Structure 1
Amino acid sequence: MKDNQAKYPQLRFKGFTDPWEQRKLGKMGYTFTGLSGKTKEDFGHGNAKFVTYMNVFSSPVSNSEMVENVEVDSKQHQVEYGDVFFTTSSETPQEVGMSSVWLETAENIYLNSFCFGYHPMVEFDPYYLAFMLRSPVIRKKFMLLAQGISRYNISKNKVMEMLVPVPEIVEQQKIGSFFKQLDDTITLHQRKLAKLKELKQGYLQKLFPKNGSKFPQLRFAGFADAWEQRKLGAITDSFSGGTPTAGKAEYYGGEIPFIRSGEISSDSTELFITDAGLNNSSAKMVGIGDILYALYGATSGETSISRINGAINQAILAIRPTKGDDPYMIVQWLKKQKETIISTYLQGGQGNLSGSIVKDLLITLPKNKDEQAKVGSFFKQLDQTITLHQRKLEKLQELKKGYLKRCFADS
């Protein structure tokens, strides 16, 4: 494909109709290397800083605070405003060549040794450059350049041969500003979500008694009695499910949602089974409001209130209170105790939990069911708020993905 070949993006701002050029990166700037000739004794102190690998990997625009100390060295290349950093290797081809633009003017800032830098010699809007290099059309090109088996690498010479879309600077500024505002909105929602989760963790510590105590630090007005400790199995009934025989077409594709351990918090499932699949297996039906507890694999110890009427497999334990205890409060206690349960019963975080282990757990709850309902309702509302913010964040992230696909011309 010839350099400067004209292309048009799918989506444009009003007033822009000119074709976009496709130009080689190497014709518009030069590369430089990261830190070299250093030993571990040179790091962790000194009046200079270097941009870390994870800083480059994690964001289209580098974080000026994700830097670490190193000794000042006049032989090293200092990064400048508008420089682009590229990671040179990764464990997967999908993550190789991740880029980040530096937008600071401080002195004595270097680049880590596992990345290389690129200094543009033509006018680029830095935010356009940042998001264009992270767009699907460019990321696909980096994946094609990835070489390796267990670890993937890219050649900076090959990267410099890459064609990228270059509109006029005014259109670049429009696009860059749009994605910057979108990213700022996403960051704001991420911070709100993180604060809500932190707030919840604080309430979990204060609204439940600490180990050995019968009184929580924080209580709703009107409640003063000591809480009591009981075995979870003494106040609930529980059962696990099973999986219909794989490969039997008559067991799958029906109308019964089939809940797996990674879906206990979801309102939908990937798989559905038939009545025949349910009746000819150990799968068991659960209803909206049942407590679901993950026993196996990476999700061990996760718990949630079911949002689905469906069937569960053997990796899930369904729990139903039998003495009028509040299910939301039981769920929150299980969430609070997750790390303790995992560290107690799973060696090194490996292996599986069992129904008998969960039934023998000693749970501390108020005797007063009204207090249970107050605490359970409080956490239910807090969880709903967290879920709402999580969904808003996911929608914004999906929106950004869609715009990244449509706002940059393919080559």
Structure 2
Amino acid sequence: MTEQAKVPAIRFAGFTDPWEQRKFGDCFEFLKSNTLSRAGLNGENGTARNVHYGDILIKFGDCLDGERSDLPFITDDTVLPKYAGSILREGDVIFADTAEDETAGKCVELRKLPKEPTISGLHTIPARPRFPFGTGYLGHYLNSDAYHRQLLPLMQGIKVISVSKAALQDTQVRFPGLSEQSAIGAALNEIDSLITLHQRKYDKLVIFKKSMLEKMFPKDGESVPEIRFAGFTDPWEQRKLGEIVSIGAGAPPSAFSAGNFLYVKVDDLNESSHFQFDSAQRVDANTAVKPIRKGSIIFAKRGAAILGNKVRVLGKTAYIDTNMMALEPRGVDADFLWLFINQTGLYRIADTSTIPQINNKHIEPYPVDIPNMAEQQAIGTFFSRLDDLITLHQRKLELLQNIKKSLLDKMFV
């Protein structure tokens, strides 16, 4: 029997009717899935396609456009007839019943399908709605916290987490009228399209940067790179790293206070550090050591897990702790030096002792190929602007993902 459920925090104008709540089994019927592993699939040809649970967990979003998603083919043509009654249709949903974490139960709604018959694969639970739903509604709703949290207490396993058909049967499905469903699906699909657009732009820029780094620095045994800016023809010069940087050491702070200097600890060095260390502590001047000036590169010098983690000091002058070193540019462009250090991977030259570490004896003789200052600056500026563009798309992507998360929290009950 249908129950009336509460309404969400956000609704489109004109919709005021209460939402319905029904048992999963009243809304869906289960289809059969096959047991083919990746070994039974291929990316080239076949008479039928397959939806693999790993792709649901990692590759696909909430809604699947099978015409564009390169669904793999089933290699054995004799498999399809066994699943004649479970060939997928648009509007069907497929759950991944297994994962290594609580993403088990992730779902995809089929919006478009390729011309070949398509069936659901290993570790999936395909289900067909018993009555129409608005396009995109189920994909977004069944992946929302509003629905997924019902599955959490029903999951089983430790190393591998699984969700069963019986668990799904124990859940409740909530939905508004068909017109409101369609409006919700259309809005979230549009956000997904924007997320995909910026993800592709971001990915292309990252790949472009990687390619240019490989081509704008000389390969081993060569004195010039494959690609250069116009007007530069002189061979690059090999120097020692110790000749173009000053090496700074860390020390305990003299006193923590609301001083004018940052004190950067090794724990502050992580993949998300954005150079400014807004959360770093402030200290007064430390007379025992020199401060690390703007433009320097600071990095962890010991510890297997963090060795080589690095950032640049672009804000205030800083002091660093004893587990860190600093390289201050001396007669070399700061942006160019940052590129070189990122290319090198200083952790590779560490002592292979009980606690791997980098010392001055590793830094000072390390070979560096550099062009003249004008070419250094041209290269540094180019990659600095490219990094700004990558960061811009990354921030837009994160903003859209946060907007979607917020809407999912507020548009469903």
Task: Quickly name the TM-score band, shorter chain normalised.
Answer: 0.7 to 0.9
Residues 242, 284 of structure 1: 8 Å contact kept: no
Matched, 1:48 2:48: yes
SS of the residue corresponding to residue 192 of structure 1 reads helix
Kindly report which structure 2 residues correspond to 1:309-328, keeping only aligned pairs within 5 A, or say none: 309=316, 310-313=318-321, 316-322=324-330, 324-328=331-335
Q: Which amino acid aligns with 2:30?
A: T
TM-score (norm 2): 0.84
Give the corresponding residue for 2:18: 19
1:62 alignment partner, SS class: strand
Amino acid corresponding to residue 364 of structure 1 in structure 2: D
Distance apart, 1:98 and its partner CA: 0.8
How far is 1:35 from its partner?
0.8
Corresponding residue number in structure 2 for 1:202: 211
1:301 Cα deviation (Å)? 4.3
1:331 aligned partner: 338
Q: Deviations over 1:162-197 (max 9, x none)?
A: 112210010011110001110101111111111111
Deviation, 1:141, is 2.0
Cα distance between partner residues in 2 of 1:382 and 1:141: 44
The CA deviation at 1:97 is 0.8
Distance 1:163 1:257 in 2: 52
Q: Is the 8 A contact 2:50 2:119 kept in 1?
A: yes
Q: For residues 315 and 405 of structure 1, do their structure 2 counterparts lie closer, same or farther at Cα, with a shift above 3 Å needed? A: farther
Q: What whole-Å deviation, never above 9, does each CA across 1:13-44 have from its counterpart, x for those lacking one?
A: 111111111222211111224213x5776444
Question: C-alpha distance in 2, partners of 1:393/1:148?
Answer: 34
2-structure distance, mates of 1:66, 1:252? 58
For the structure 1 residues 272 and 293, does the alpha-carbon distance in structure 2 shift closer, same or farther, using more than 3 Å as the test? closer
> How far apart are the structure 2 equivalents of 1:351 and 1:192?
40
Which segment drifts farther, 210-219 or 57-66?
A: 57-66
**Paired residue type of 1:399:** I
Q: Which sits farther off after the overlay, 233-242 or 20-29? A: 233-242
CA distance in 2, matches of 1:285, 1:140: 50
Change (3 A) 1:253 1:369: closer
Distance in 2 between residues matched to 1:145 and 1:283, nearest whole Å = 58
Which residue is 2:232 aligned to?
223
Mapping of residues 182-331 of structure 1, within 5 Å: 182-239=191-248, 241=250, 256=262, 258-259=264-265, 260-262=268-270, 265-267=273-275, 269=277, 272-273=280-281, 275=283, 286-295=292-301, 296-297=303-304, 300-309=307-316, 310-313=318-321, 316-322=324-330, 324-331=331-338
Partner residue in 2 for 1:247: none
Partner of 1:75: 82
What is the CA-CA distance between 1:51 and the residue it aligns to? 1.1
Q: Equivalent residues in 2 for 1:102-121 (5 A)?
A: 102-105=110-113, 106-121=115-130
Cα distance in 2 for partners of 1:252, 1:30 equals 65
CA 1:214–1:265: 2 relative to 1, 3 Å: farther
- 1:138 matched to 2:147: yes
1:363 aligned to which of 344, 365, 368: 368
SS in 2 for 1:101: strand
Residues 60 and 100, structure 1, Cα contact 8 Å, conserved in 2: yes
Task: Decide which moves more: 174-183 or 138-147.
Answer: 138-147
**CA offset at residue 121 of structure 1?**
1.1
Cα RMSD of the aligned pairs, angstroms, is 3.2
Distance 1:102 1:230, change over 3 A: same
The Cα of 1:46 is off from its aligned counterpart by 4.0
1:376 equivalent to 2:384? Answer no
Pick from 86, 90, 105: which aligns with 2:95?
86
Give distance in 1, aligned partners of 2:139 and 2:215: 44
- Deviation, 1:317, is 3.1
- Asked whether the equivalents of residues 83 and 102 of structure 1 are also in contact (C-alpha less than 8 Å), the reply is yes
Give a deviation string over 1:314-336, Cα, whole Å, max 9, x none.
554321112x2011111112223
SS in 1 for 2:63: coil
Change (3 A) 1:99 1:346: farther
**Deviations 1:321-362 (CA, angstroms, capped at 9, x unpaired):** 12x201111111222334xx6667699xx9745144344431
Residue by residue over 1:233-271, the C-alpha shift from the partner in whole angstroms, topping out at 9 and shown as x without a partner, is 221122354678xxxxx9699994645220574155485
Q: 1:96 is aligned with what amino acid?
A: A
**Conserved? CA contact 2:295–2:329, under 8 Å:** no
**Among 387, 392, 398, the residue aligned to 1:394:** 398
Q: Indicate the larger mover: 194-203 or 234-243.
A: 234-243
**Match for residue 62 of structure 1?**
64
Q: Which moved more, 1:56-65 or 1:160-169?
A: 56-65
1: CA distance, partners of 2:335 / 2:281: 28
Aligned to 2:163: 154
CA contact (8 A) 2:258 2:283 kept: no
Find the aligned partners of 1:134 and 1:78 in 2 and give their Cα distance: 23
Q: In the superposition, relative to structure 1, how do residues 284 and 171 fare at CA in structure 2: closer, same or farther (>3 Å)?
A: farther
In structure 2, C-alpha distance between the alignment counterparts of 1:8 and 1:39, rounded to whole Å: 42
* Number of positions where the alignment pairs a residue of Structure 1 with one of Structure 2: 393
